[in-house]
A = this chain, B = another copy of it.
Amino acid sequence: MVSIVETATEAVADTADAATVLVSGFGSAGQPVELIEALLDCGATDLTVVSNNAGNGDSGLAALIRQGRVRKMVCSFPRQSDSWHFDAKYRAGEIELELVPQGNLAERIRAAGAGIGAFFTPTGFGTPLADGKETREIDGVGYVLEYPIHGDVALVSAHRSDELGNLVYRKTARNFGPIMAAAATTTVVQVHEIVPVGSIDPEHVITPSLYVDRVVRIASDRVEAAS
Chain A residues proximal to chain B, CB less than 8 Å: 107, 111, 114-122, 136, 138-139, 141, 143, 147, 168-171, 202-204
Residues of B within 8 A of A202 (CB): 171
Report how far A171 CA is from B203 CA in the complex, Å.
7
The interface residues of chain A, by DSSP majority, are classed as: mixed
Evaluate whether A119 and B122 lie within 8 angstroms (CB atoms) in the complex, with A168-B203, A204-B204 already known. Answer: no
Min CB gap A124→B, angstroms:
12
Closest beta carbon of chain B to A119's beta carbon, Å: 4
Q: Considering the chains assembled together, what is the distance between the CA atoms of A122 and B115 in angstroms?
A: 8
Indicate if the CB atoms of A117 and B120 lie closer than 8 Å. Answer: yes
CB distance from A204 to the nearest CB of B (A): 5
Partner of A121, one of B116, B141, B170: B116
A/B interface sample: 19 pairs, CB < 8 A: A107-B116, A115-B122, A116-B119, A116-B121, A117-B119, A117-B120, A117-B122, A117-B136, A117-B139, A117-B141, A118-B120, A118-B136, A118-B143, A138-B147, A170-B203, A171-B202, A171-B203, A203-B204, A204-B204
Across the interface, name the chain B residue whose C-beta is closest to A142: B117
Across-interface contacts of A111 in B (CB, < 8 A):
119
Q: Are A118's CB and B119's CB within 8 A?
A: yes
Query: A91 CA to B90 CA in the complex, in Å?
Result: 66
- Neighbour of A117 across the interface among B114, B143, B203, CB < 8 A: B143
Nearest Cβ on chain B to A172's Cβ, whole angstroms: 10
Residues of B within 8 A of A147 (CB): 138
Q: A117-B122, A117-B143, A171-B203 are in contact. List 10 more A-B contacts (CB 8 A).
A: A107-B116, A115-B121, A116-B119, A117-B120, A118-B136, A118-B138, A118-B143, A119-B119, A168-B203, A203-B204
Could you say which residues of chain B place their CB within 8 Å of the CB of A143?
117-118
Q: Write the nearest CB–CB distance from A113 to chain B, whole angstroms.
A: 13
Q: Which residues of B contact A204 (CB under 8 A)?
A: 203-204
Expressed in whole angstroms, the minimum distance between the Cβ of A203 and any Cβ of chain B is 7
How many whole Å from A136's CB to the nearest CB in chain B?
A: 7
B119/A138 in contact, CB under 8 A: no
CB nearest neighbor in B for A170? B203
